[in-house]
A and B are shown apart, each in its own frame.
Chain A
């Protein structure tokens, strides 16, 4: 299928519904539309390519993430948005056959430089995963883990303070203050995820990456996490991958749309959801595929 017929079908009101649209060749190889770049970037990515063995998962992506903004990344399954997110604190290093090239900077420092140590990097760029993964330790120990590992505190009182502060910021303190020493795995799914956020906050990162943090949670727990993100964005830079377009619309200030490993469009969230520039973005947000 050539790109013209795909285009025609997309905007043809008579196009049969129910038949999958093939965008595999459509709009690829073009430059990202919208405003991927900015002058006050916290993190910037230039010409990033990621390969799993021979298979290329990310094609030539360039993007800036601003200080104290919430950047949402959306796109159909397998479009590379999680891979991209994991590149931002080098979590992909743990995957055996994953190859990254391109440039990623944090405050203008290349994080893929061969002298860069991943330990301080991950303390500055924290990550919250899709499935809550509290350690099989007490709630207190879960939050205290990061500060202990990084030697941030020397006295117990300081540690207590950090734990309480982090749990408060993750709006979990009131629910767990009476059972700090019971296992973190005994909490509900939503509480566990907030515990994981508290654990990340405890090492006072500058950027927090969230990889579909609400996909395993019910709507009420999701609403609480979303409120929390709004509060956190005052102090942290947040990049969130999400499957839920409503969530992206609610929490983020800018939205990036990924498709087949390529960054198609980056714009203000309101613009993306009301007047997308690229027809692929429009097709995705109007639910024509996903």
Chain B
């Protein structure tokens, strides 16, 4: 049987085991006129046997499928002549792929020039494949049978089915939780190791403190004029400049709209405005991107020309403004929540002393909500630093070292995109520098998130 059929069969068997065992358990448990004779409710016994049928079999299928590839690979290599076995690993892989393809699609690929040993190996591969599938089917069927009969025999008062089922679910939950953590660790490690490879060819300090960024490296030894320079300072400055402009827009506007919504707005108005602000958060950043590039940037250039200023067509100002608008909902929504969470009794206390509403907001509500507001702002900042689409479209690609918002600058994220878009070789410093930039970005946003969490945790319970 093929693997998908096996999986479906296993699941069907598990469902069948659930029904059979549950019915049997309820027959045993509820004898007329007596107390229930089993430790757990019948459905726990059904659940336990379903899990015992399904989990081991699925595990076997999974492990088998993974190992199968390696085993087949090794077997084919053994069948090949020694001259081929002596080739480098990457070329052996190619030969193995040819063998498998020949075996699977003989009509399309076979020609008179095909060497005999490849055809022979292909035949052997098919036989291997069949044998492997057959034995997998047998193993799965046997284990299904064993699991079911074991569970059938264990419908006894002494068996604590409920505890066992709950323990299994607990492990399943732990597994899900650890998937997120393991993925994060995996990404961090991969970025870290690729960055280390990059720092073997470019020194760390040149990367951190260099002021010239021009990542074109020579493809051929004799190529002229493309030596590559990896000083990331212009990118850091560009990123900070755009994020700063964005925060300059988002923090005041977001905070004040949050204050209006939570303190002054009537419930009816709030019910309309709050969802609309959240729609703003739902607009894809690519839409903001072309809005920035096609509407805002030309507008800024024209108004700059009107005032006699020289504005480049892709400016940090345009990207920063639009990014600021994009993160307004982050600031306002988070701040609104924390302002709402300030207990009414504090407001009453202040109003009861004769403070006006605005004095109450300034002197009591905002100070009490400040930790939450700060953390909302920091989260928005890390969002701004990591934002890509808007800056790709509106900020430009050339790495100028400038703090003039009217000139074009580039950011870390933009450079990562341009370094990795298209066909790239993955062993040149040019491509690897993307990982180093990614590492920098990751470190900064992680630090910001950590500070935000720390601030919240430190001051959270102050008014309780």
Please give, as numbers and ranges, the residues of chain B lying within 8 Å of A127 by CB-CB distance: 348, 352
Contact A149–B354 (Cβ < 8 Å): yes
Among B351, B354, B367, which residue has its beta carbon within 8 angstroms of that of A94?
Answer: B351
Please give, as numbers and ranges, the residues of chain B lying within 8 Å of A133 by CB-CB distance: 343, 345-346, 348-349
A183 to B345, CA, bound (A): 17
| A76-84, A114-122, A236-244 - the one binding chain B | A114-122
A30 to B354, CA, bound (A): 37
Within 8 A of A (CB), among B342-396: 343, 345-356, 359, 363-364, 367-368
Please give, as numbers and ranges, the residues of chain B lying within 8 Å of A203 by CB-CB distance: 353-354
A121 to B353, CA, bound (A): 9
A115 to B421, CA, bound (A): 69
Residue A199, interface by CB 8 Å: yes
CB nearest neighbor in B for A147: B353
Q: Assess A91 versus B352: contact at CB under 8 Å? Given A135-B364, A185-B463.
A: yes
Contact A119–B349 (Cβ < 8 Å): no
Please give, as numbers and ranges, the residues of chain B lying within 8 Å of A89 by CB-CB distance: 352
Per-residue CB contact flags for chain A residues 103-144 toward chain B (1 = under 8 Å, else 0) read: 000000000000000111111001101010111110000000
A200 to B354, CA, bound (A): 10
A2 to B368, CA, bound (A): 54
Contact A126–B353 (Cβ < 8 Å): yes
Q: Which residues of A contact B (CB under 8 A)?
A: 89, 91, 94, 96, 118-123, 126-127, 129, 131, 133-137, 145-146, 149-150, 183, 185, 196, 199-200, 203
Contact A145–B348 (Cβ < 8 Å): no
Among A123, A129, A145, which residue has its beta carbon within 8 angstroms of that of B363?
Answer: A145
Contact A135–B368 (Cβ < 8 Å): yes
A227 to B228, CA, bound (A): 83
Known: A91-B351, A135-B350. 17 other contacts (CB 8 A): A89-B352, A94-B348, A96-B267, A126-B353, A129-B349, A131-B345, A133-B346, A135-B367, A136-B346, A136-B368, A149-B355, A149-B359, A183-B462, A185-B462, A196-B349, A200-B352, A200-B353
- Which of B345, B348, B349, B462 gathers most chain A CB within 10 Å? B349
Within 8 A of A (CB), among B309-359: 343, 345-356, 359
Among B346, B356, B363, B368, which residue has its beta carbon within 8 angstroms of that of A119?
Answer: B356
Contact B353–A149 (Cβ < 8 Å): yes
A127 to B363, CA, bound (A): 19
Contact B345–A150 (Cβ < 8 Å): no
User: Interface size class for chain B?
Assistant: 20 to 34
10 A–B pairs (Cβ distance < 8 Å), ordered by A = A121-B354, A122-B352, A122-B354, A123-B353, A127-B348, A129-B352, A136-B367, A136-B462, A149-B355, A185-B463
Contact A135–B355 (Cβ < 8 Å): no
Q: Assess A145 versus B354: contact at CB under 8 Å? Given A131-B345, A136-B367, A183-B462.
A: no
Please give, as numbers and ranges, the residues of chain A lying within 8 Å of B356 by CB-CB distance: 119
Please give, as numbers and ranges, the residues of chain A lying within 8 Å of B345 by CB-CB distance: 129, 131, 133
A197 to B356, CA, bound (A): 20
A121 to B351, CA, bound (A): 11
Please give, as numbers and ranges, the residues of chain B lying within 8 Å of A183 by CB-CB distance: 462
Contact A199–B462 (Cβ < 8 Å): no
| Shortest CB distance A11–B (Å) | 43
Q: Assess A146 versus B353: contact at CB under 8 Å? Given A135-B346, A183-B462, A185-B462.
A: yes
A121 to B348, CA, bound (A): 15
Please give, as numbers and ranges, the residues of chain A lying within 8 Å of B464 by CB-CB distance: 185
| Shortest CB distance B268–A (Å) | 10
Contact A119–B354 (Cβ < 8 Å): yes
